[in-house]
Amino acid sequence: MGLMEQASKNPRLNKYLVSAGLAQSRRSADKIISSGRVTLNGAVVSDLSSRVNSTDKVELDGQSGRLRADIYLAYNKPKGLVCSHSRNDGGRTIFDELPPAFSSLKIAGRLDKDSEGLMILSSDGAFINNVTHPSSNKSKAYLVDTKQDISDAMIEQFNKGVRLLDGVSKLKATKIGRNRAKIIISEGRNRQIRRSFETLGLTIIKLQRVRIGLYSNKSLGPKEFVFIKPEDVV
């Protein structure tokens, strides 16, 4: 067996920790290894060059994790980027900001160019379908800031339903400020929140998604991503 083949079958410990869902990135894995929290076959290992074979038992703080062949990412999209693999309108896409290795990942829940916030991406098609298909009933939460004041009557109307051209739009709305509301939806019609607000005469100045399914991440900055586990979402 050549050195390259051996390295691919026996990954470095930091890569293994990421694949097992025990670390968010190789850099964070290196810090975890250096701290002495990782054991290899029962013995503490702090050598960053250590490799793992198929029979080794790796644990972090006594937990073994679960190896995954697929990639799962949470990404904080800034305003101005398009959620697309192609540049149909000439604008920059989220994949222009992500590492090239992620260029073929599928998107769970696109955001329009003027919206920002949490996105989930993965190479696992079944997972993406589970998150996005209407039958899964996965809710998403948004913070919406408007130019005009949001009245209590408007909040009540959102909860009752706003009639759009493609049917009634029901939003679970909570007023959290004079010009701010929290919106939770389970369906995902095109620009549904924007069209619902426009119908009631409200101009949205900021639309930010803060949760998909079970997953939220308040510490994730614009254009930042972290590796996640599918069970964090579903």
As annotated, the active-site residues are 112
- The Cα 222–Cα 234 span in angstroms is 23
Which structure tokens are listed for 102?
């992620």
**Residue matched to tokens 């079970």:** 214
Phi, psi angles (nearest 5°) of residue 46: -125, 5
Classify strands 162-164 and 167-169 as parallel, antiparallel or unpaired: antiparallel
The distance of Cα 103 from the centroid of its chain, to the nearest Å, equals: 15
Write down the number of H helices and E strands in the chain. 7, 13
Radius of gyration of the chain (CA): 21
CB 201 within 8 Å of CB 188: no
**Residue matched to tokens 């994790």:** 65
List of residues 6+ apart from 172 with CB closer than 8 A: 158, 159, 183, 184, 185
What amino acid is encoded at 156 in this protein? E
Neighbours of 201 (CB within 10 A): 9
